[in-house]
Amino acid sequence: MLIVMRQDASAEQINEVVKVVTSKGCQARSIPGGDRVSIAVLFNKGPLEDAWFSDLPGVQQTIAVTRPYKLVSRETKPSGTEIRVKNVTIGSGRLTIMAGPCAVESERQAMTIAEQVKKAGGDMFRGGAFKPRTSPYSFQGLGEEGLKILAKVRETFDLPVVTEVMDLACFDLVEAYADIVQIGTRNMQNFSLLRRAGQAKKPVFLKRGMSATVDEWLMAAEYIMAEGNPDIILCERGVRTFVRHSRNTLDLSAVPVVQRESHLPVMVDPSHAAGFRDQVMPLARAAVAAGAHGIMVEVHHDPANACSDGAQSLYPAQFASLCRQVRDIEQLIENSVES
């Protein structure tokens, strides 16, 4: 249940509502809103009675939250969440372009790619220092050395950096260096990792599990938000199907569904969905046309020799062309009478 306070509700009235919520064995969580305070009632064991709260002084209305995800639900917060990271705001209406190599391989490699990402108009640099690899014999990432290189990229090119956290053991380290902490597809239901991300002071980029339903994905986001971190960016990255022509199948219908169900921004990763370079551009265009708040694309200056995901990495010139094309689509949608 959501308790919406009147605009002129006093701090005492809000405290009184919190007290009543607690007395019913539930937890009260204040929801950041525009001009009024709302209080989400969480952890109820049984049905909540409207009359417990609706007549308390300062309460404007109570709203039943019908979805299993409460805090991330649009029922709880009708306006879209905007997440500011340095000079970039995700979910603001301007498309966010996040790009970089799958893995940070060396300082020279990261700086070369970052220069191209910046030049093409990318907003953020993304590269893995801790890599979840299918084979234990594959390149696993540079670890802290990779994080230090990311810090140098941020400093040199004034680009916020995004990087993946693979487990609890490396969380503190990754959080210290990253502007946004990524949780990858394989960890979407690693609940202890989600809880730790909920205590983080950095926004979380939560990729959809490769076999997860939208409900499961939103419940994973709920784990993070229930721990107190409101800054979550969802990322659709394709789901596992029977096809062989692509690595995964990009589920673009998830974009409008998530936008209907949740106030969180949703981005699309066409690179891991495609698995092959030639599919990345059309999928990125489609994602933007479908209304995604941003895209995340893998770029490499020498993909043939990349330590991971070379086959899906765009050459810098292709990435520059992609940026121009998606910005054109963004403009078209903005100018459209219908939108």
Where on the chain is the footprint of Mn ion (CB under 5 A)?
A: 102, 309
270 binds ligand PEP per the rule CB under 6 A:
no
Q: Is 59 or 232 the residue whose CB approaches ligand PEP more closely?
A: 232
| Phi-psi category of residue 328: left, alpha or beta, with phi > 0 → left and psi -120 to 50 → alpha | alpha
Q: Is 237 or 300 the residue whose CB approaches ligand PEP more closely?
A: 237
Measured distance CA(227)–CA(222) in Å, rounded: 9
80, interface contact from Mn ion, ligand PEP, none, CB < 5-8 Å by kind: none
247 binds ligand PEP per the rule CB under 6 A:
no
- Chain residue whose CB lies nearest Mn ion: 102
Q: Is 118 or 133 the residue whose CB approaches ligand PEP more closely?
A: 133
Task: Name the 3-class secondary structure at 329.
Answer: helix
- Nearest distance from C-beta of residue 5 to ligand PEP, angstroms: 40
- Nearest distance from C-beta of residue 336 to ligand PEP, angstroms: 31
- Report the amino acid identity of residue 117: V
- Site map (CB under 6 A) of ligand PEP, residues 224-243, x = contact: -------------x------
Q: How many residues bind ligand PEP (CB under 6 A)?
A: 8
Q: Is 51 or 304 the residue whose CB approaches Mn ion more closely?
A: 304
For residue 38, give the nearest of 20, 56, 63 by alpha carbon: 63
| Phi-psi category of residue 141: left, alpha or beta, with phi > 0 → left and psi -120 to 50 → alpha | left
In the list 58, 122, 128, 198, the residue contacting ligand PEP (rule: CB under 6 A) is 128
- φ, ψ of residue 235 in degrees (nearest 5): -140, 115
272 binds ligand PEP per the rule CB under 6 A:
yes
Per-residue exposure over 27-61, b if at least 16 CB sit within 10 Å of its own CB, e if not: ebbebeeeeebbbbbbeeeeebeeebbeebebbee
Could you give the angle at the alpha carbon of 178 between the alpha carbons of 174 and 181, nearest 5°? 75
Which positions lie near ligand PEP, rule CB under 6 A?
102, 128, 132, 184-185, 207, 237, 272
